[in-house]
């Protein structure tokens, strides 16, 4: 019997995938628990339409992320911090300050998507942070920490 999975099931398949299972497994377990539906012609057409729309949305998100990646890699941020005479910063610069500086430049990036090498920066200088935009698309952001 062919069924369309409504969620990922270990050792069987992924969501929106058509799989062939034994009749009893489908009728007694998968369908009653809402994990799958019968793969009728109508349900297959609905699945094809859902996958087509999902693919279209994914392409749009990927295109937007690539555009944002190019723009982020062109800018160079300057982040001010209070520092001593030796170049040590009082406190540290982390992803929160970088996300706020990006917001001032017009990019609404969540701080959790900003990855700073070494977590916190405690000295003045030039650094690179990675900004996760979409699945495998990451932008390298160059920024400078200067004394205020």
Mind listing the pLDDT tens digit for each residue in 28-87? 999 999 999 999 999 999 999 999 999 999 999 999 999 999 999 999 899 999 998 888
Q: What is the mean pLDDT of residues 23-31?
A: 96
Domain 2-64 bears CATH identifier 3.40.5.10: yes
Q: What is the mean pLDDT of residues 135-141?
A: 91
* pLDDT confidence of residue 76: 87
Domain spans of the chain, in order of start: 2-64, 72-147
User: Do the first three CATH levels of 2-64 and 72-147 match, i.e. the same topology?
Assistant: no
* pLDDT confidence of residue 133: 92
Per-residue pLDDT of 84-136, as tens digits, reads 888 899 988 999 999 999 999 999 999 999 999 777 898 999 999 999 998 88
Cross-strand partners of 9: 13
* pLDDT confidence of residue 55: 94
Q: Are 16 and 34 in contact (CB under 8 A)?
A: no
CATH fold of 72-147 reads: Ribosomal Protein L9; domain 2 (3.10.430)
Q: What is the biggest distance separating any 2 CA atoms in the chain, rounded to whole angstroms? A: 76
* pLDDT confidence of residue 119: 72
| Predicted model pTM | 0.70
DSSP reduced 3-state for 65: helix
């Amino acid at each position: 019997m062919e069924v369309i999975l409504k969620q990922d099931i270990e050792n069987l398949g992924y969501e929106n995938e058509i799989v062939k299972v034994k009749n009893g497994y489908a009728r007694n377990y998968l369908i009653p628990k809402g994990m799958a539906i019968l793969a009728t012609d109508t349900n297959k057409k609905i699945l094809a339409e859902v996958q087509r729309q999902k693919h279209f949305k994914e392409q749009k998100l990927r295109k937007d992320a690539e555009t944002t990646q190019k723009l982020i890699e062109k800018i160079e941020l300057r982040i001010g911090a209070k520092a001593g005479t030796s170049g040590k910063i009082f406190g540290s610069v982390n992803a929160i300050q970088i996300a706020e500086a990006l917001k001032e430049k017009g990019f609404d990036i969540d701080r959790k998507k900003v990855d700073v090498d070494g977590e916190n920066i405690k000295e003045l200088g030039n650094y690179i942070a990675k900004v996760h935009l979409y699945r495998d698309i990451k932008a390298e952001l160059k920024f400078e920490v200067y004394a205020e």
